[in-house]
Structure 1
Amino acid sequence: MNKIALTAAASLMASTAAIAQVETRTLTFENEGAQLSGTLYLPEGHDGSVLPIVVVTGAWTSVEEQMPSVYAKEMVGRGFAAFTFDFRGWGKSGDLPGHVRYAESPAAKTSDIRAAFEFVATLPEVDASQINGLGICASAGYMVDAVAGNDTVNRIGLVAPWLQNEHLVETVYGGSEGVAGLINLSRAAEAAGGQIIPASGPEGAEGVLMPIGGYYYDADRGAVPAYDNKWNNAGWEGWLTYHPADNGARLTHPLAIVHSETAAIPDGVRAFLSGFAGEATLQMLEDVTQFDFYDNPEDVTRAADTIATHFKS
């Protein structure tokens, strides 16, 4: 692997991008028989010329109005068009097969990203030779798998990537017994036609996927009106048996990663890069939490600078 390491103190000059003035267009596209809802972001008053584009995807349980929208606007401010969308089973998009909603499905989300790449390549505002993918948190693994072997895509960037393997899954979810228990819960929920619980709640709340308060629970941050705030326990098995940290060898596209030792599972980044043989830029910021990467202006700016510079290389 040819890796360029960037430090927080001396990585890039401060961003010169002004706060983006954007115009948006609601668009729909299809994948595997379902209609997906998305948004195209362009500079305000765009003259119709073609632009490079970034397809932006977000964390688990998220909708496009959350962190994908934040980074889409950042990309527009740096000279790109951007596209966000709701995955099948979430937000404004259609259901997963079997009319299932709110189930985290790595296979389905990877397929949706591939369909999004194919869709944006047809848009008259887009330079089809300059299509890039940006995955945030859980969708980083999906983005890697959607880009791997995909000649439609030029470059890939990951921000605060949640890249897990079997060891990290057991570390996070209570060891082998904890994982087995959640897989049993998943199978029971699937047999019952689904079991929906709140995705976020206050710290210590019971019966909630993320009882931690913060981003998803704060109306001034991620608890936007469009957020479903739901989780289907039937999705646990697919999520826990998905190991994207093992998938580095699949990817040959130039890669940039922005992460922090104080964000979620940085060991997953190291595991992924150990198997990646291509060109990689890694920026590890100091003292940045996972949620900071979603919407804290200073940290978003630094991450967006690195990713945009990579896409323009």
Structure 2
Amino acid sequence: MRIDVTFPSNGLALAGTLLLPDAPAGRPFPAVVVGHPSGGVKEQTASIYAGRLVRAGFATLVFDAAYQGESEGEPRGLEDPFQRAEDVKAAVGYLSARDDVDPGRIGALGICASGGYVPYAAQTDLRIRAVATVSAGDLGTVMRDGLGGGQSPETTRALLERAGAARTAEARGEGIHRQEWITDAVDAETYEYYRTPRGHHPRAVQPWPVRNLDQIIQYDSYALVRLIAPRPLLMIVGSAADTAYISRAAVERAAEPKRLVVVDGATHVSLYDVDEHVTAAVAELAPFFATHLAAPGAA
């Protein structure tokens, strides 16, 4: 069953899609919140994973982040990491209030940038009983250090100067300074996913306000990742993913129980929608959530 829903996050109405298993449940469902990549929307990879997990017996909730997709918020396209974490917590709150969901059996899955936001939210939101990521990305690390590291302090400072100039321009009434972030300068597979029929959606990858930059640079997804324990953490990466080092470092900083799974041959983006790689990821996710969101007393 598919239900279009809305729920509040810091006073903004978020647009979501709730999927419920077809088979009647003898008790409220376990549930998984699924977060989309930066600049993405709920209809893309998040819905692919939600659809697989609902077939495994979980209620799943996908939603557009505040300022993005069909959700409320101005300026449009804003990527505020702290708001994104609040959105995850709001989604958990929405599920917790439903009669058909067991509030004690809610997990969360983050894909790409949400693979940073979901663990960040879970560090202090104990209602999230199991945490998983696919192709996790920490935008703060990438903006501060560059993808793979090696970005100079001067480059980081230049980004912060651009953000400050954009804020000043807004204060002067000069409008929102924006920039495209998926152009032909990014890697070919990312461009293909977002800008061709493979994964394109008209509400996705809208130009983001330049003042995003200071918020993102200030943010650290995994600073307190140890606080997730004793709840379990599962992070899934592709063997050919240029972002895999982010998950490896996060797992190293986390406390037990924790697990890193490497999908052979997968890239960062192929784990979004390539059936072979999504199937391999879900083969890990479904039993992970089944084990850790099991009903008390279940065999």
Q: TM-score range by the shorter chain?
A: 0.7 to 0.9
SS in structure 2 of the partner of residue 256 of structure 1: strand
Out of 114, 121, 131, the residue aligned to residue 146 of structure 1 is 121
SS in structure 1 of the partner of residue 191 of structure 2: coil
Out of 297, 301, 311, the residue aligned to residue 275 of structure 2 is 297
Separation (CA, whole Å) in 2 of partners of 1:121 and 1:151 = 12
Does 2:192 correspond to 1:214?
yes
Map of 1:285 onto structure 2: 263
Map of 1:262 onto structure 2: 240
| Change beyond 3 A, Cα 1:165–1:31 | closer
Structure 2's unaligned 5+ residue stretches are 171-175, 292-299
TM-score (norm 1): 0.83
Map of 2:90 onto structure 1: 115
Separation (CA, whole Å) in 1 of partners of 2:237 and 2:141 = 21
Asked whether the 8 Å contact 1:160–1:264 carries over to 2, the reply is no
Map of 1:306 onto structure 2: 284
Deviations 1:10-45 (A, max 9, x none): xxxxxxxxxxxxx31111111221111111012347
Map of 1:59 onto structure 2: 37
Map of 1:163 onto structure 2: 138
Q: Percent identity?
A: 26
The one-letter code of the counterpart of 2:47 is S
Separation (CA, whole Å) in 2 of partners of 1:167 and 1:59 = 14
Displacement, 1:294? Answer: 0.6
Does 2:209 correspond to 1:232?
yes
Displacement, 1:164? Answer: 6.1
Separation (CA, whole Å) in 1 of partners of 2:142 and 2:26 = 49
Out of 109, 115, 131, the residue aligned to residue 134 of structure 1 is 109
Separation (CA, whole Å) in 2 of partners of 1:166 and 1:25 = 36
Separation (CA, whole Å) in 2 of partners of 1:155 and 1:200 = 32
TM-score (norm 2): 0.87
Deviations 1:254-309 (A, max 9, x none): 01111024213222222212221120122112221111011111111111121111
Displacement, 1:48? Answer: 8.4
The one-letter code of the counterpart of 1:55 is V
The one-letter code of the counterpart of 2:55 is G
Deviations 1:76-117 (A, max 9, x none): 11111100111110011111xxx3221211111111111110
| Change beyond 3 A, Cα 1:210–1:46 | farther
- What is the count of residue pairs matched by the alignment? 283
Cα RMSD (Å) = 2.4
| Change beyond 3 A, Cα 1:169–1:264 | farther
Separation (CA, whole Å) in 2 of partners of 1:106 and 1:210 = 26
Separation (CA, whole Å) in 2 of partners of 1:204 and 1:145 = 29
SS in structure 2 of the partner of residue 25 of structure 1: strand
| Change beyond 3 A, Cα 1:68–1:263 | same
Does 2:223 correspond to 1:246?
yes
Displacement, 1:241? Answer: 2.5
Structure 1's unaligned 5+ residue stretches are 1-22
Out of 124, 137, 149, the residue aligned to residue 99 of structure 2 is 124
The one-letter code of the counterpart of 1:310 is F
SS in structure 2 of the partner of residue 310 of structure 1: helix
| Higher relative contact order, chain-length normalized (CA < 8 Å, sep 6+) | 1
Displacement, 1:166? Answer: 5.0
Separation (CA, whole Å) in 1 of partners of 2:57 and 2:142 = 40
The one-letter code of the counterpart of 1:176 is P
SS in structure 1 of the partner of residue 41 of structure 2: coil
Does 2:80 correspond to 1:105?
yes
The one-letter code of the counterpart of 2:46 is P
